Structure 1
Amino acid sequence: MKKLITATLFATMMAGTAMADTTLKLVEVITSPERTETLKSIVGKFEAENPGTKVEIISLPWGEAFQKFATMVSAGEIPDVMEMPDTWLSLYANNGMLESLEPYLKDWEHTAGMTDRALELGRDVKDTAYMLPYGFYLRAMFYNKKIFAEAGVDGPPKTMDEFVAASEKISKLPGKYGYCLRGGPGGLNGWMMFAATMAGNNEFFNADGTSKFSEPDWVKGIEWVVDLYKKGYAPKDSVNWGFNEIVAGFYTGTCAMLDQDPDALIAISERMDAADYAVVPMPKGPAGKSFPTIGYAGWSMMSASANKDLSWKLIATLEGPEGNIEWNKRIGALPALKAAEKDPFYAGEQFKGWFDELADKDAVPTVMPTYLEEFAFFKDSLAIKTTQEALLGDITPEELAKQWAEYLTAAQQKFLASK
């Protein structure tokens, strides 16, 4: 009997040790102090519900995240769960590095509570849920009411021509500029959106897989952005600006217009009086349409994880109603859960611009071609280099368009050939 008790106690101690040694690694890539603190809060609840399990959060700075994460993976430092941007999904899913979440979604009590769009986009690669989106980032336009009034501009621009005219007037004010240009990391959305708006459509490819970027109407959109910068309607150093810089440029009053997703509200609402700014739909182009980009991000499980069931429990905590709504309220994305639409937080005036845009049949939410395996490199490396060269006059808009078209044509035709 004594031996049995001793053996039982030893087994219990060993089980406790094993549980205490269970550490999940979670990589955050769209990083900011606010997001990291929110993530820690939700993860803390997961740890409390799963005694003996610890989650190590690794936060990568967004501007360097693509290269840093690729380096981690090549060195064998693969996490269990990661924050997956839409632009990386195809790269990692097509290389067999992501676990299918389909078996878990089949039995999850909240699967039916996800929006249809969230489930559709999570299954963007091979119709398989390699990612569960937590929210959406839809571009709309912030404008500074005080600066507009000071410059004598009567209301926000509704067309691209009015946007340029307003930028010109505002840029004549000392130390002021019309537009917060994102010339550095993450700037591709603006170029894609304005090019499509000037072209009057958001079809990036022809039926044979050739890219439309080198076609005259699309080149006009690229020229439009370059001209804004060269005419001094955006700050000179905005050629290097990323997310934090453009948002700061807006709330400090350096520039009066900013195209951004709801996540920019976090910093802006803390630093500006609500009466001094507003959010409106993006201006329309010559065809009477606008094509605001809609992006998304979510949670993925790495196929190399040794703790898959536990990793799913972590994803379920992050993605469930309590975790998802807490996360999106703090980071500013539009949630992926149907229940969030009834939350009073999203019924406020600050979100009106995005919901007006979603309701406008001539404002067409545009998903970039993230299904291409080569798109991650294009967005986070090639596009930054070439757009900066064009802004600085080292290459022409036509040369930029030609480089993009060649790269994307090869990627699209490879994709079509694989189907």
Structure 2
Amino acid sequence: TWLSLYANNGLLESLEPYLAKWEHTSGLTDRALELGRDVNDTAYMLPYGFYLRAMFYNKKLFQEAGVAEPPKTMDEFVAASEKVSKLPGKYGYCLRGGPGGLNGWMMFGATMAGSNKFFNDDGTSTMNSEGWIKGLTWVVDLYKKGLAPKDSVNWGFNEIVAGFYTGTCAMLDQDPDALIAIAERMKPEDYGVTTMPKGPGGKTFPTIGYAGWSMMAASQNKDLSWKLIETLEGPEGNVEWNKRTGALPVHKSAEKDPFYSSEQFKGWFAELEDKDAVPTVMPTYLEEFAFFKDSMVIKTSQQALLGDITPEEMANQWADYLTKAQQKYLAKK
């Protein structure tokens, strides 16, 4: 979220000289190095793990509501949500209407539009195109029809995960880090993880995010900083770290680890292998992205969910803001 702002303003040290000499650089996945070099093709960050959205579903609630199998399309998702929501005190979907809610809007917007292209060639945003507006409206309608809990307009990570493991709602889109709390509280046979539902075009666009290590340019102890980074990022440290944080590791060798060959992780690896599930990186290279994600989107999406503005008005506000940011970025290039 903040990499572009810090890196573009000279606050981060390039890790390229260290990577050039490091024995484990070649063992990192291509995607890890590509994302770490998001700004000016320079490794200002070394991702430690991937956060890829997939769909958790509650098998017991599905059975109770008469839902035969996890939904494969957005239409089936709505139908399943309607059946579950007829059960007293139960809902179809754990909506993240509060902090960190951008991913859901982006995924469902792109999936309904059939494309994860955020901008046209001239830098104008696609957010207020017909397909995107349909996707944003689809999310608002889920909430307005009562297919998500009323207070989910304010829910963040902890609330949606708790909403799932308490059996309040049957479906949740989340990264592997949600597994930690869910696996502690639910029996493995009571829930599954599957690919995000596909749109009218037969594709789905689950967001892929990452967190990682950077070195401040002002550091007085750069060699020591690198020593810490290489310890945490090395094959042993990285797998151990991600087992505790819940992200997917960045080393090619990690998939062979017994921990990641478990039934629970199959959903993510299957999604990664599905040619119609296209991992989508949000436009984090824009310096303005952080404000958009953490402030503007939360305020306007809550207004749309509560009916204070229309999904179209929200889409126009998002498009105006992102168009200015993208055109500024293109002008600099």
Partner of 2:165: 251
Question: 1:136 offset after TM fit, Å?
Answer: 0.4
Question: 1:315 offset after TM fit, Å?
Answer: 0.9
Question: 1:108 offset after TM fit, Å?
Answer: 1.2
Partner of 1:282: 196
Partner of 1:123: 37
Q: Secondary structure at the match of 1:304?
A: coil
- Flag the structure with larger Rg: 1
Question: 1:116 offset after TM fit, Å?
Answer: 1.1
Alignment TM-score, normalising by the size of structure 2: 0.99
Runs of 4+ in 1 over 6 A off after TM superposition: none
Find out whether 1:149 has 2:51 as its counterpart.
Answer: no
Question: 1:342 offset after TM fit, Å?
Answer: 1.2
Q: Secondary structure at the match of 1:302?
A: coil
Letter of the structure 1 residue corresponding to residue 24 of structure 2: H
Partner of 2:3: 89
Question: Over aligned residues, Cα RMSD in angstroms?
Answer: 0.7
Partner of 1:68: none
Distance in 2 of aligned mates of 1:389 and 1:134? 35
Question: 1:189 offset after TM fit, Å?
Answer: 0.4
Distance in 1 of aligned mates of 2:291 and 2:15? 25
Partner of 1:188: 102
For residues 186-224 of structure 1, give each alpha carbon's deviation from its aligned partner in whole angstroms, at most 9, with x where no partner exists: 110000000000000110100100000111110000000
Find out whether 1:112 has 2:26 as its counterpart.
Answer: yes
- The runs of 5 or more residues in structure 1 that have no matched partner are 1-86
Partner of 2:12: 98
Partner of 1:404: 318
One of 210, 228, 237 as aligned partner of 2:142 = 228
Distance in 2 of aligned mates of 1:119 and 1:177? 40
One of 252, 273, 280 as aligned partner of 1:338 = 252
Find out whether 1:203 has 2:117 as its counterpart.
Answer: yes
For residues 285-307 of structure 1, give each alpha carbon's deviation from its aligned partner in whole angstroms, at most 9, with x where no partner exists: 00011011111110011111111
Partner of 2:304: 390
Equivalent residue runs for 1:47-66 within 5 Å: none
For residues 17-56 of structure 1, give each alpha carbon's deviation from its aligned partner in whole angstroms, at most 9, with x where no partner exists: xxxxxxxxxxxxxxxxxxxxxxxxxxxxxxxxxxxxxxxx
The percent of aligned pairs where both chains have the same amino acid is 83
Question: 1:341 offset after TM fit, Å?
Answer: 1.6
Alignment TM-score, normalising by the size of structure 1: 0.79
Question: 1:225 offset after TM fit, Å?
Answer: 0.3
Distance in 1 of aligned mates of 2:26 and 2:271? 26
Partner of 2:243: 329
Equivalent residue runs for 1:361-400 within 5 Å: 361-400=275-314
- The runs of 5 or more residues in structure 2 that have no matched partner are none
Distance in 2 of aligned mates of 1:112 and 1:353? 27
Find out whether 1:350 has 2:264 as its counterpart.
Answer: yes
Number of aligned residue pairs: give it.
333
